[in-house]
Amino acid sequence: MKSYVLLSISIIGEVIGTTMLKMAEGFTILGPSIGVVTGYVLSFYLLSLSLKSIPLSLAYAIWSGCGTALAAIVGIIFWGEALSLLKFIGIIFIIGGIFSLNTANKGPQPATED
């Protein structure tokens, strides 16, 4: 469970870093530029810690998928980007893919002898 908390915080760091990347305007504004570096360093560090107990394929799918979906939502809410039906469907597919990978990873458990 601790690894999933670290992964969740890692995702938040990645979304903050990405948001700051837009605000940094090509690294010409100092504050957001520092936010980019801080967000990504925190994100990759916590992602690496979560990989101690979460399989790489699952962790990266969750990290990249949630990061992408959240970045799209941040763009819609804070930057006034349009929410089209196609964009909405894409976000739903991302979430569905993450769910699918997570449940597929928990395949049938071998029977144990009592």
- Cα distance between the two ends of the chain: 27
Nearest-angstrom CA–CA distance, 31 and 53: 34
Chain centre distance of CA 11:
4
- Does this model's pTM top 0.85? no
CB 3 within 8 A of CB 52: yes
Q: pLDDT tens string for the chain (114 positions)?
A: 899 999 999 999 999 999 999 999 999 999 999 999 999 999 999 999 999 999 998 899 899 999 999 999 999 999 999 999 999 999 899 888 888 877 775 655 555 454
Nearest-angstrom CA–CA distance, 41 and 105: 28
Nearest-angstrom CA–CA distance, 61 and 47: 12
pLDDT of residue 112: 47
Nearest-angstrom CA–CA distance, 58 and 106: 11
pLDDT of residue 97: 86
Per-domain residue ranges of the chain: 2-104
Nearest-angstrom CA–CA distance, 96 and 86: 15
